[in-house]
Chain A
Amino acid sequence: EVQLVESGGGLVQPGGSLRLSCAASGFTFSDHFMDWVRQAPGKGLEWVGRTRNKANSYTIEYAASVKGRFTISRDDSKNSLYLQMNSLKTEDTAVYYCGRDRPYYYDISGHYAYYYFIDVWGKGTTVTVSS
């Protein structure tokens, strides 16, 4: 069974740091791009960032709201995804989900590209930033 399990959430003071983990099982983790998405209390979904796989040089994309403060990393040997969160603000309070990306191969007139969307989600871990 494909499964993602987040951990590491908790209460932290503004300006503090926290590291979230996402343990993957049931699929070949190293093949996949992986995302972090968050949801503030009573609000909608907000994409946080994405890490590509080894074949794509482990490059990373971030949302502007977290760039420079959050760092996404992965350890393929441990089937794990991480989110290091520094300089936390009260507005970072949210449930944080990790998500597995599925590639969609697109070929038009010999030019091809892959597009990625989240097909599996973890249950989330709650981060509360408050004094």
Chain B
Amino acid sequence: DIQMTQSPSTLSASVGDRVTITCRASQIISNWLAWYQQKPGKAPKLLIYRASSLEGGVSSRFSGSASGTEFTLTISSLQPDDFATYYCQQYDSYPITFGQGTRLEIK
């Protein structure tokens, strides 16, 4: 199985900050990676697919990039609504696997 390792597990930041979350795959996944945002008690929401393609209707403050087996999600200027948990997911091969999540909290 492909292991997805996110860092950090928790990130404290302030409104207006630029933040980056990293996800590392245990083997090559050829950029078949998605990012999801989840708020407490809610379903996940798709933000990014194919490592860097922004889902329609998602703020352009969100961006994704890839370098080999390392992937990053960047939020350019944090807004109050962005404080949530973020998950990466690989869909290159079965079983589909998620990172353990990064909780973004208000400093």
4 further A-B contacts with Cβ under 8 Å, apart from A44-B101, A45-B44, A117-B34, are: A46-B98, A115-B92, A119-B46, A119-B49
The listed residue with most A CB atoms (<10 A of its CB), out of B1, B95, B101, is B95
Whether the pair A97, B99 counts as a contact (CB closer than 8 A) is: no
Query: Do A121 and B87 touch (CB < 8 A)?
Result: no
Q: Assess whether A18 is interfacial by the CB under 8 Å rule.
A: no
Q: Are B50 and A119 in contact (CB under 8 A)?
A: no
Size class of the contact patch on chain B: 20 to 34
Cβ-Cβ contact count across A and B, 8 Å cutoff: 58
> Given A45-B89, A104-B49, A117-B49: A61 and B44 within 8 A (CB)?
no
Interface residue ranges of A11-65 to B (CB < 8 Å): 35, 37, 44-47, 50, 61, 63-64
B22-63 with Cβ < 8 A to chain A:
32, 34, 36, 38, 42-46, 49-50, 55
Given the known A-B contacts A117-B34, A121-B44, are A47 and B49 also in contact in the complex, defined by CB atoms under 8 Å? no
Q: In the complex, which residues of chain B have a beta carbon less than 8 angstroms from the beta carbon of A116?
A: 91
What is the 8 Å Cβ interface bit string for chain B, positions 69-97, against chain A (1 contact, 0 not)?
00000000000000000010101101111
